Amino acid sequence: GHDGKANDSSKANGHDGKANGHDRARADSLIRAPSPPTACELERRAGGDAARVATIAGAVSTILGALGEDPERPGLQRTPTRLAELLVDCTSGYGQTVETVLNGAVFEEDYSEMVVVRDIALYSLCEHHVVPFFGKCHIAYVPKGKVLGLSKLARIAEMYARRLQVQERLTTQIARAVMDAVDPQGVGVVVEATHMCMCMRGARATSSSTVTSAVLGSFRSDQRTRNEFFANIGRPRMC
């Protein structure tokens, strides 16, 4: 029931299903359009992390001094290097590619029902304030002759999370990577996260969470597939 050929909701609402199908195909093609590596990705793939840590550590010492602190006092002497190493590690996803993360774990398999991996732990850094946002990610796809090793879905999510991010882009990047990796009938991704930039400062909305979703292929064109996905992850009201 996942061939994405029927879209009863568009007919019931009196919309032109064929025209909507063209619009959806055009939107999906834009989302899946391959993009060249960014300058940051190319630089990180070239290595040089030791020099990068040294440069960042010097900048952190300057920041500590600007805050009125003494970077040489016992509690802060190693802080610049620790923070530099943390930032390099938490942005290590720039240096990875989907191909290296998958490591050949794409398998021919005659299976065409939904595959769902729920509650993947996710940790990232908000690019606006460089503080963490964290939560969980749910990934689903309907295969079309090829399946991924299940752990690779979590690896793809981690690769894109270990960058300076916004949650909306992170969600779309994960969905697009899965779509490109196995060319399935469709992909659905939901990310639920708490943003420390909202909890620690500004609104101080300590109990808030942000939910984003990306649906491609049959998950976009077939409401029944969307319904099944959101029900599988315990979010039927997102249908």
Query: What angle do helix axes 49-66 and 79-90 make, rounded to 10 degrees?
Result: 130
Helix (H, G, I), strand (E, B) or coil at 129: coil
CA dist 198 and 209 (Å) reads 9
Q: Is 214 exposed, middle or buried (0-12, 13-18, 19+ CB in 10 A)?
A: buried
Task: At 1, list the tokens.
Answer: 């029931």
CA dist 97 and 100 (Å) reads 5
C-beta of residue 105 within 8 angstroms of C-beta of residue 146: no
Nearest one of 37, 21, 27, 19 to 172, comparing CA atoms: 27
CA dist 121 and 109 (Å) reads 27
The residue written with tokens 């939107």 in the block is 27
Catalytic residue positions?
126-129, 167, 195, 197
Residues of the chain by 3-state class (helix, strand, coil), percent to 5: 50, 20, 30
